[in-house]
Structure 1
C-alpha cells in the first residue's frame, strides 16, 4: 500500500484525490504537494452536490500534510457532514503560500484533530482557521480541543480575522512553542474571561505552559499595563519581539525582567535605534538590569535603524555576559558590532547576513578574545 505521495510542478492538476479515490488512498501517511499552478482542491469530498458520505466510509491514516506554493488552492477539504470522513490520525500540517485559501479545516475535520502535534501556516489568504459549523445555531458555543498540539506557527496572514467565526472555546494543554507574527487583523492575547472569542489565547491560561512565545508591540503594552502573577512567564526560554515598522519605539528592556529563565531573544522588524540603554543615570535603572536574565542567544532581524549594538556602559554588558550565539540579519544601517571583550569569550556562533552598511565586523584586538568562535 502507498504510504507517501509527493506531487510537484503539475500545473494542469485540479485536485489530488477525487471523491471516488479517497477510499483507495486511505492508507496514505504522508502527503507533499508543491508548485501546482492550477490546483484548487486536495480532498474532493463533494462533487456537484453529490456527497461522498452517502456511499463511502473513509478513515484516513494520513499523518502529515505539506502544501506549498499553490496559488489557486481554495479547499484542502471540501465541506463535509459529520460521520463518515475522518482524518483523526493527522499529526503534522504545514501550509505555505496558498493565497486563494480562505479557510483551512472544515469543522467536521477540526473537531477530530486530537492527535495533531504541529501546525504551521504562513503567507496565505486565510480569513479563518476553522470554518463555521452550519449544523449549530449562532448562539450555541462549540469546543475545539487540540490536546496534543505543542507547536503552532501563524505568520504573514494579513486577512486572518478569527480562529472560528462563531462562539467557541479552544484548549491547548500541551502547547509549548507559539510563534505568531504579521497577523494584524486578529487579536492574539487577551487577559479577561470576557475576551474569550475576541482573542485567540488568554494569557493566564496559555503563557504558564509555554517555552517559546512571540509578542508584538501591542502585546507588550497590554502585558505591561496589566497585573499578573510574578511567575507567569517563568517557563519561557525563548522570546520573539516584533513591531510595526511605522511605530517608532524604544526597546522595552525592563519588560525582560518577567522572564526569569530566558535563554534566547529575537527582535524582528523593529525601529529601535539602540537595543538597550538607560533612560537616565538613576541608580534604580541600573539596579533593575541585575534582575534581567543573562541570555545565550541573540538574533536581530530587519532592525533597520540600529547602527551599532553595544556602547560603553550598555545594559547589554549584563544581559549578554553569557552570550553563545549572535545572529544579525538584514540590519540595513548596522555599521559595526562593537563587541565587548567581557562577553565575547563565550561566543561560539556569529552569523551576519545582508548587513550592507557594515564597515567593521571585528577589530584585530577583539578577535583574539573570540576563542570559542
Structure 2
C-alpha cells in the first residue's frame, strides 16, 4: 500500500478538495511502502474534526501529499503543506519515519492550520534535524507537551530573525518537556526569544550530550537575552536562576547535574518544590547513589524514580532516617526502579527506613536483572496499594509468607517477564497451617514467566482474596495449579487463563479451573 487516495487520470491541473467532516482520528502504522496519504498532486485534504494523528513505522513516508520531482529537487518535501488542513488537531505522534526530514515548510508565507495543537511526540525520526521552523513555533501558542526522543535533531526551533524589542513568546502554555537520546542536539533555539514558561511542571533531559538541564533552564530566564551571556559571573547566573526559574513539579537529574549541585552552583530553593524526582544516567561502573544531604533538599517529594544507572544500592550508606530527626523522603508515596542492571538490593536490612516504607503506596521494579529480593525481611509496607515487577530475572520468588501478611492494602499486583520466578509467595517456615488474607487485592496479573509453578507452594496454607475480581495468567507453561493450598475468591466470576475466559464459579474455584485447563 503506497497511499490512501489514488491519483485519477485525466484530471489535469484542477485542484480537488477532499473533505472528511466527521473524521476524528487518523492512524497509519506498519506500512513499509507507504509514501503519501494523497497520491495525486492536485488534491487538498480538509479534516475539520480531526483531533489525533498517529504515523508509525512508515519508513518511506515524507509528506501527506505527493510532490513532483522538480519540487523535491528544489526543496525537501515536508509532511504538511497548505494542501493539508487539520484545524482542530490536538495530538500528533510520529514514530520510526526514516525518511522524514521536515514536518512543516520553511516558507513563513504559508497558512498554518494547527491552531489547537497541544501535544507532539516524535520518536526515532533519524532524518529530522529541526522540529519547528521559527515561524511555525511562534504560531503554536497552545502547545502543552513536547516529547522528543531518538531523532536527528540539532535544534528544536530553527533560527529565526533577530528578536524584536518586544520579545516573542514561544509555547507559553508548555507544561512538559521531554528530550531523550539526541546526541546532536545543541540548542533549543539558537537566537532564543524570552521564554515565559510559567506553567512548566516537568523537565526531563537524558542522553543529550551537548545539552544539560541547567542550560535549558537558563533559556527560561531573562539573562538568556543578554549579548554577553557567555561572560555572566557565577553570582549573576545564580541570581538569574533563583529569580526566574519556573516551579517544576517533576524534575529529572543526571550525573553531571548532581555534580553541579554538589559544587554549590545552584540555590537550594530551586529544588524545594518538586513533587517527583527522577535520577537517571549514572553510567559509571562505580556510580554511587546521591548523598543524603542532597535528598534532604526535596522536602515535598512524593515520587522517586531511579532510571538507567549503574547503582548497586539505591540509598546511601549513612541511611535516610535517624532516631529523633526529621526523615528525608518521609512523604514518599511512589518508588520506581527502571533499567538498573547492577542493582542487587533495594533496602539494607540494617537501615532505619521504617517511616519511608510505611508511606509507600506504589512500588514498581522494571528491568533489574541482578535484583534477588525486593522486600526486606523486617519491614512493613502497610500502605502499599500497587505493586508492579517486570523483566527482573534474578527473582526466584516475590515475597515470603512473613512479608505478604503486611500487604494489607494491596489492590493491584502485576508480575511480568521474571524468567526465574518459581512462585509468588515463598515459605519461610512460618506459613504452614496459616491463613493469608489479601483483603483489598482486586487485580492480579501474571505473564511471561516460564519457570512459574504456582502462586504459592505452601500446601496447608489458605489464601483468601475477598475482593479479587480480575485475574489474568498468560504464558506461564509450567503453572498447572494456582496454589498448593486452598484458595477462596468469592468475587471472582471470570478469569483470563492462557487466552481463555473461564467461568470460575462453574468450575468450582481457581485451582480447579487451572487443573482442567492443563489436563
| TM-score range relative to shorter protein | 0.7 to 0.9
- DSSP-derived class of the 1:294 partner: coil
**Which residue matches 1:219?**
257
- CA-CA distance at 1:369 after TM superposition: 1.6
**Which residue matches 2:106?**
79
Checking the alignment, whether the CA contact within 8 Å between 1:208 and 1:234 is kept in structure 2 is no
**Which residue matches 1:257?**
296
Partner Cα distance (1:329, 1:81) in 2? 46
Cα displacement string for residues 97-132 of structure 1 (whole angstroms, at most 9, x for unaligned residues): 211111111111101111112221122222211122
**Which residue matches 1:238?**
276
Q: Give the alignment partner of residue 183 of structure 1, picking from 179, 198, 208.
A: 208
- DSSP-derived class of the 1:267 partner: strand
**Which residue matches 1:70?**
97
Partner Cα distance (1:24, 1:322) in 2? 52
Checking the alignment, whether the CA contact within 8 Å between 2:373 and 2:395 is kept in structure 1 is yes
How does 1:5-44 map onto structure 2 within 5 Å?
A: 5-16=26-37, 21=43, 24-25=46-47, 28-42=50-64
- Measured at CA, do residues 65 and 41 of structure 1 come closer, stay the same or move farther in structure 2, by a change above 3 Å? same
- Measured at CA, do residues 274 and 174 of structure 1 come closer, stay the same or move farther in structure 2, by a change above 3 Å? same
1:151 equivalent in alignment to 2:176: yes
Q: Give the alignment partner of residue 247 of structure 2, picking from 209, 215, 218.
A: 209
Task: Structure 2 unaligned segments of length 5 or more: list them.
Answer: 1-20, 231-239, 411-519
- CA-CA distance at 1:258 after TM superposition: 1.4
Cα displacement string for residues 146-173 of structure 1 (whole angstroms, at most 9, x for unaligned residues): 1212122222223222111334432212
- CA-CA distance at 1:241 after TM superposition: 0.5
1:126 equivalent in alignment to 2:153: yes
1:269 equivalent in alignment to 2:291: no
TM-score by length of 2: 0.62
Checking the alignment, whether the CA contact within 8 Å between 2:212 and 2:257 is kept in structure 1 is no
- Measured at CA, do residues 22 and 238 of structure 1 come closer, stay the same or move farther in structure 2, by a change above 3 Å? farther
- CA-CA distance at 1:361 after TM superposition: 2.5
**Which residue matches 1:60?**
87
Partner Cα distance (2:186, 2:65) in 1? 25
- DSSP-derived class of the 2:399 partner: coil
- Measured at CA, do residues 207 and 285 of structure 1 come closer, stay the same or move farther in structure 2, by a change above 3 Å? farther
- Measured at CA, do residues 288 and 183 of structure 1 come closer, stay the same or move farther in structure 2, by a change above 3 Å? farther
Q: Which one has the largest radius of gyration?
A: 2
- CA-CA distance at 1:38 after TM superposition: 0.4
Checking the alignment, whether the CA contact within 8 Å between 1:304 and 1:333 is kept in structure 2 is yes
**Which structure is richer in relative contact order (CA contacts within 8 A, separation 6 or more)?**
1
Which 10-residue stretch deviates more, 1-10 or 74-83?
1-10
Partner Cα distance (1:160, 1:98) in 2? 13
Partner Cα distance (1:169, 1:321) in 2? 45
> What do you get for the CA RMSD once the two structures are aligned?
3.7
- CA-CA distance at 1:240 after TM superposition: 0.6
Checking the alignment, whether the CA contact within 8 Å between 2:296 and 2:329 is kept in structure 1 is yes
**Which residue matches 1:108?**
135
- CA-CA distance at 1:58 after TM superposition: 6.8
Partner Cα distance (1:151, 1:97) in 2? 19
**Which residue matches 2:401?**
364
- Measured at CA, do residues 287 and 227 of structure 1 come closer, stay the same or move farther in structure 2, by a change above 3 Å? farther
- DSSP-derived class of the 1:361 partner: strand
Q: Give the alignment partner of residue 196 of structure 1, picking from 195, 215, 224.
A: 224
- DSSP-derived class of the 1:295 partner: coil
Checking the alignment, whether the CA contact within 8 Å between 2:321 and 2:328 is kept in structure 1 is no
- Measured at CA, do residues 44 and 206 of structure 1 come closer, stay the same or move farther in structure 2, by a change above 3 Å? farther
- CA-CA distance at 1:359 after TM superposition: 3.6
Checking the alignment, whether the CA contact within 8 Å between 1:42 and 1:77 is kept in structure 2 is no
- DSSP-derived class of the 1:196 partner: helix
**Which residue matches 1:306?**
343
**Which one has the bigger strand percentage?**
1
- DSSP-derived class of the 1:241 partner: strand
Cα displacement string for residues 128-152 of structure 1 (whole angstroms, at most 9, x for unaligned residues): 111222xx25999964421212122
1:321 equivalent in alignment to 2:358: yes
- DSSP-derived class of the 2:393 partner: coil
